[in-house]
């Protein structure tokens, strides 16, 4: 790990190649705006605001914001955000017009050096599916394609007015159910069609820690699905009241209970919970290669509103059985 520090301007101007350093607080907004430069003006402003809120006054979180400086001028930036569950999100490097490709490569290398010492198992980068330059850059930095994700939304008019009839029972999660829920999730990953390459990358404990910190956690929206006294699946939702959304974080059915049409029953139950919470929409992401799930969500009224490619770099694998 390099010792990142802020160079004074004289030191910066003496370097032939840009210096890669932690962005000082006064220049944070400019660096974040550069990272978001490919977004529309409105989306860029919203994303910079979200980044700034996430960083806050925590200098440790600011450590993942790295800039490339040439003659004292910011010419490129990259942001790595360490997240709960031993994972990180990486926003690919962006540089000013005319800056050579090597600057982007050095920024990504510096971001990976930073993450090496942050006790993360994996880092993921979301990019536009047609961004060939980002794909080449990420692959050169040790990232590999994980999946194309479809982002789906179901609107209020698609929600049922009552819980769907059927043989399933939905039991709210409690802290005492932690190990039980972990076992269920492990069972649902058997022969999964949704991002199967994630199997074995992180411990289930870390997966749950990541889910727990998405949006607002409501134990009433984490449900164990049962049939005739057996645990057959789970449904995990996260509230995003600032957007009027509920997010379907994860839904799974254990392999032995599949092909009963229960995936649709669980999905409709999620929509009903969204209706009870007076939300405007239920949103989720699904692997574009998971054709059965996409057909089911479409039948439940979901529509595609975006698509992204996910690239992943593994820094360390767990030493115990994991998901």
Predicted local distance difference test score (pLDDT) of residue 13 = 39
Residue spans in the chain of domains classed CATH 3.40.630.30: 9-120, 152-308
- With a CB cutoff of 8 Å and minimum separation 6, the contacts of 167 are 227, 228
Strand partners, 252: 234
Lowest-confidence segment of 4-8, 53-57, 308-312 by average pLDDT:
4-8
Under 8 Å between Cβ of 143 and 312? yes
- With a CB cutoff of 8 Å and minimum separation 6, the contacts of 175 are none
What are 210-238's pLDDT values in tens digits?
Answer: 999 999 999 999 999 999 999 999 999 99
In CATH terms, the fold of domain 152-308 is: Aminopeptidase (3.40.630)
Q: How confident is the model at residue 61 (pLDDT cuts 50, 70, 90)?
A: low
Q: How confident is the model at residue 316 (pLDDT cuts 50, 70, 90)?
A: confident
Predicted local distance difference test score (pLDDT) of residue 59 = 57
Give which of 184, 240, 173 is closest to 213, Cα–Cα.
Answer: 240
How far apart, in whole angstroms, are the C-alpha atoms of residue 89 and residue 159?
32
Burial 263-292 (b: 16+ CB within 10 A, else e): bbbbbbbbbbbbbebebebbbbbbbbebee
Predicted local distance difference test score (pLDDT) of residue 6 = 42
Mean pLDDT, the chain, integer: 90
Question: How many CA atoms are closer than 13 Å to the CA of 322, on its beta-carbon side?
Answer: 18
What are 96-137's pLDDT values in tens digits?
Answer: 999 999 999 999 999 999 999 998 999 999 999 999 999 999
Q: What percentage of the chain exceeds 70 in pLDDT?
A: 91
Under 8 Å between Cβ of 120 and 88? yes
CATH class of residue range 9-120: alpha beta
């Amino acid at each position: 790990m390099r010792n990142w520090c802020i160079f004074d301007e004289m030191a910066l101007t003496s370097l032939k190649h840009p210096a890669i350093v932690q962005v000082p607080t006064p220049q944070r907004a400019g660096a974040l705006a550069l990272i978001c430069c490919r977004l529309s003006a409105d989306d860029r402003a919203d994303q910079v605001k979200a980044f700034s809120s996430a960083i806050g006054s925590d200098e440790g979180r600011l450590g993942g914001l790295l800039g490339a400086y040439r003659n004292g001028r910011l010419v490129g930036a990259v942001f790595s955000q360490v997240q709960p569950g031993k994972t990180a999100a990486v926003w690919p490097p962006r540089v000013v017009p005319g800056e050579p490709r090597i600057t982007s490569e050095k920024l990504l290398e510096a971001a990976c050096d930073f993450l090496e010492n942050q006790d993360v198992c994996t880092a993921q980068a979301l990019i536009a599916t047609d961004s060939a330059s980002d794909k080449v850059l990420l692959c050169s930095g040790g990232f590999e394609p994980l999946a194309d994700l479809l982002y789906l939304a179901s609107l209020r008019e698609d929600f049922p007015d009552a819980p769907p009839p059927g043989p399933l029972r939905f039991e709210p999660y409690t802290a005492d159910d932690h190990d039980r829920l972990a076992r269920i999730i492990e069972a649902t990953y058997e022969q999964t069609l949704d991002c199967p390459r994630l199997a074995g990358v992180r411990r289930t404990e870390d997966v749950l820690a990541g889910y727990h910190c998405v949006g607002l956690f409501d134990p009433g929206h984490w449900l164990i699905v049962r049939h005739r006294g057996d645990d057959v699946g789970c449904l995990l939702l996260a509230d995003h009241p600032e957007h009027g959304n509920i997010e379907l974080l994860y839904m799974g059915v254990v392999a032995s209970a599949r092909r009963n049409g229960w995936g649709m029953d669980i999905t409709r139950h999620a929509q009903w919970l969204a209706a009870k919470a007076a939300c405007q929409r239920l949103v989720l992401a699904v692997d574009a290669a998971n054709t059965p799930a996409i057909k089911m969500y479409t039948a439940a009224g979901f529509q595609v509103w975006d698509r992204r490619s996910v690239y992943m770099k593994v820094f360390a694998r767990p030493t115990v059985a994991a998901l």
